[in-house]
Structure 1
Amino acid sequence: MATMFPCPNCGGQLRYSIKDKQLKCMSCGELTDVEQYKPDDRINADSVNTKIYTCPTCNGEIQLIDNDGMEFCPFCGNQVTMQEHFSTEGAPKYVLPFMIDKQEAKQSYIRNTIDISFAPTGLNDDANVEKLVPLYTPYYLYDYNIHDKISYRAERYETTSQYYVTYKANIKVDMDLDHLKVPFDASQALDDEIAEKLEPFPMEKLKPFNPNYLAGFFVENSTVEKDLYKDDSEHKAVDYLTYKSLDNSNNYSPEFGSKNEIKNNISSSIKYNDTEGAYLPLYFMTTRYGDRVAYSIINGATGQTYLDMPIEKRKMFIAGAFASLGIFALLVCLSFLFNFSFKVKTLCLFSAFMSSVIAYIGAGLANKTYRSDNHLDDKGYYMNNANLDEEHRVNGKKEYYADKMRKSKPFGHPGQILGLVASAIAIFVVFQLATGNFGFLEWLYYSFSQIDSSGFNNFGIIGYIATGVIIIIAMFKVGKGKKTVLLLGILSWVLAVAIRIINNPDDLFYYGALIIVFTILVISINAIVDEYNRSATHPSPHFERKGGGLENARN
């Protein structure tokens, strides 16, 4: 098929050169002004009539703007033959041209990955890095303005040799801003949390949409409606303007409560103008890890990088084995030099502590993985009609998403749970004392206090209770995530506590029992790495629906 961007000099293929900021002929090297050049009739400022490639594995769609074809899917990473068809897609109002070329993107990627410990083998191989795809991604830009004076009370502290001085001031900030553009991705492929980590984009560099900037690049179609993030965009705009107002305070800090006052004033003054569509530049790479995928995404304007980074267990366990041997050798040397020894019973408390920490971390990772795999923090996924039942397609989208978020959250945060546990323990102890029942308390103290010298007794009982509280917090924290690591942590914790309660005088009993506990701990560590690798990657995607109507956000 003939090129959509023929060179006016030789008829060869023109592509946008990031370095030259002009169209460059792939045959003769001629440079052509982007704004003056007119491509053929299949692509213009109002529509893009070109090839659409669909992945047969994940159903992801991507436009190729006069490019050489696709050898792999940029979304799921499969080496497949992309199925092509023609489509006429509307064009957005703006485009932000790439400002970082592919070589600079590669260097940014290597800089961010080269020093990562236990990174998977082959991460920086040329064959892998070459998979970086320059992709124009659809975004909605929510436009706001504000014209007001914001005032707030602030204070500053100074310390002299004799005095502690407090300065108070009324800070006034002129908020005079037109067209504050707040970006939100219009792509089902790009998770909302990932998109936020790639910001900011230099909005002052936006150009009115010109298809010439797309020459030689890949373009993803939009998948969500333009009103989806309107409420979120206002919160984001208010937060940004609040930060800017505090940034102009001449080293003064707002008094208690003043920050909320600033937010309220800005919220009442800010005005929404419109929602506009834009193509923003990203370098996108997908690497397969078993049945899951890891994303590496680079902001094509600033170089800001997001990386999914699983751990290679072989490297980690080899390093862990050498570190353990080194620590063991150091402790043996210190014991001979300073004539001290470790009592085997103290290892029970150490095992209980390690078990509780493993259970807590594993619970957090499992909950994070569950939320990510089910898109619970990605409004773009749940607001997509293809992912809603018929009842919620008609109305109640926001209510459905809010209900989904509420039901998916684990009970409380650690502080709330800790307070609940402490309250329950306090009520129980008061009840026991009020009824004169000291038997349980005496047994509990006796069971845990026979650890070392009398000076260590209180520390021991507090330590075991603390690890128990951590276990309880972990049980709430896991939510609907996989319970494998949590259950292994609980098992090793129960065994460590039981061994201490049995209080067998034979050290061989402790050594044998603790070998079993430490074996479970090693299995738990292996499981927690597996859970981390799940949380650091994503399930292979499957896209149900394309075409969110970015062309409807032109005016």
Structure 2
Amino acid sequence: MVGGTVKGMSYDASSSFDDSIAREISPFDVTDQKNFNEAYIAGFYSDRLSTPPETYGDTVEETAIDAFYSGIGERAGGVKVTAPRDYSEKKMQTGINGYRYRVDLFPVWFLTWKNRNRVAYSVMNGQTGKLSMDIPVNKKAFFTVSGIMTAVLFIILSFIPMFILPKTISLIAAVFLIITSFVFSGEIKKIYYRENHIYDLGNVHFRKGKQEKKKPVSSGRKKGMSKVSALLFMMVVITIFLKMD
């Protein structure tokens, strides 16, 4: 029998910190850890733990199982290992049983930009410099550049019918329209999911706990985003993460 431990899996323990952002700026270096001292966060903003570790329990076990199968293939010289499709069978085959966790503090730099009701975030891993950016859009510059490009393309395309049939041009335009529509729709969905924490396990668990404490209410998702009062500010955030083995 061969045993082992999968280490280095970190998940944010703050319900207000979106999981997608945490994944994009991970991993953090834990080789030079120090015991906690209140002096480390003096003068900084530190978010408190609001997500219990069991929220990510299933995710941790699934990640460990995938790492187990991929690790076997790599150590066997690049051999492809076929894993069972059923999750319970994979868990039984690998012997994954439970997890251990601890709370760590990781440095995260935040840059927040607000224009009316639109808030954009730029988040950076304070150790590695990895970035997760939600780039704000200047509407005036956007429409100006779009207008110039439209005029240039109109002039260029006005000469194309001399060499290509109008029917062919219409077909090409339709193909490009479909492609750009899919790309635009995908980007809008990403923004909506992030701003409303649709797939944020920590936030979903936190809201579920608050709803259970209240009286039963009619089903339906409450829409809206929390308002940020500052227009443009930069701060260092020491975000709480759960460190799981």
Matches within 5 A, 1:94-493: 149=2, 176-177=4-5, 180-250=7-77, 252-254=78-80, 258-260=81-83, 264=90, 268-327=94-153, 340-385=162-207, 388-390=210-212
Residue 532 of structure 1 is matched in structure 2 by none
Do the aligned partners of 2:123 and 2:131 also contact (CA within 8 Å) in 1? yes
Do the aligned partners of 1:296 and 1:306 also contact (CA within 8 Å) in 2? yes
Give the whole-Å Cα distance in 2 for the aligned partners of 1:316 and 1:307. Answer: 18
Q: How many residues align?
A: 222
> For residue 54 of structure 2, what is the amino acid of its counterpart?
D
Residue 469 of structure 1 is matched in structure 2 by none
Identical columns (%): 24
CA offsets, 1:494-540, max 9 Å, x none? xxxxxxxxxxxxxxxxxxxxxxxxxxxxxxxxxxxxxxxxxxxx944
| Structure 1 pair 379–351 and aligned structure 2 pair: CA distance change class (3 A) | same
> For residue 379 of structure 1, what is the amino acid of its counterpart?
L
> For residue 382 of structure 1, what is the amino acid of its counterpart?
V
Question: Normalising to structure 2: TM-score of the pair?
Answer: 0.70
Do the aligned partners of 1:187 and 1:380 also contact (CA within 8 Å) in 2? yes
> For residue 260 of structure 1, what is the amino acid of its counterpart?
A
Give the whole-Å Cα distance in 2 for the aligned partners of 1:242 and 1:206. Answer: 29
| Structure 1 pair 297–372 and aligned structure 2 pair: CA distance change class (3 A) | closer
Give unmatched runs, 5+ long, in structure 1.
1-147, 150-174, 395-403, 409-537, 543-549
The more displaced of 222-231 and 182-191 is: 222-231
Give the whole-Å Cα distance in 2 for the aligned partners of 1:354 and 1:194. Answer: 31
Secondary structure of 2:7 counterpart: strand
| Structure 1 pair 303–324 and aligned structure 2 pair: CA distance change class (3 A) | same
Greater relative CO, 1 or 2 (CA 8 Å, sep 6+): 2
Give the whole-Å Cα distance in 1 for the aligned partners of 2:201 and 2:128. Answer: 25
Question: Normalising to structure 1: TM-score of the pair?
Answer: 0.34
| Structure 1 pair 301–266 and aligned structure 2 pair: CA distance change class (3 A) | farther
Do the aligned partners of 1:192 and 1:379 also contact (CA within 8 Å) in 2? yes
| Structure 1 pair 246–305 and aligned structure 2 pair: CA distance change class (3 A) | farther
- Superposed CA RMSD: 3.9
Do the aligned partners of 1:242 and 1:266 also contact (CA within 8 Å) in 2? no
CA offsets, 1:395-439, max 9 Å, x none? xxxxxxxxx9xxx9xxxxxxxxxxxxxxxxxxxxxxxxxxxxxxx
Give the whole-Å Cα distance in 2 for the aligned partners of 1:293 and 1:216. Answer: 24
Do the aligned partners of 1:285 and 1:295 also contact (CA within 8 Å) in 2? yes
CA offsets, 1:262-293, max 9 Å, x none? 99379633343422212111112211132021
Give unmatched runs, 5+ long, in structure 2.
229-239
Do the aligned partners of 1:293 and 1:539 also contact (CA within 8 Å) in 2? no
| Structure 1 pair 540–289 and aligned structure 2 pair: CA distance change class (3 A) | farther
Give the whole-Å Cα distance in 1 for the aligned partners of 2:31 and 2:12. Answer: 18
Give the whole-Å Cα distance in 2 for the aligned partners of 1:302 and 1:270. Answer: 31
Matches within 5 A, 1:507-526: none
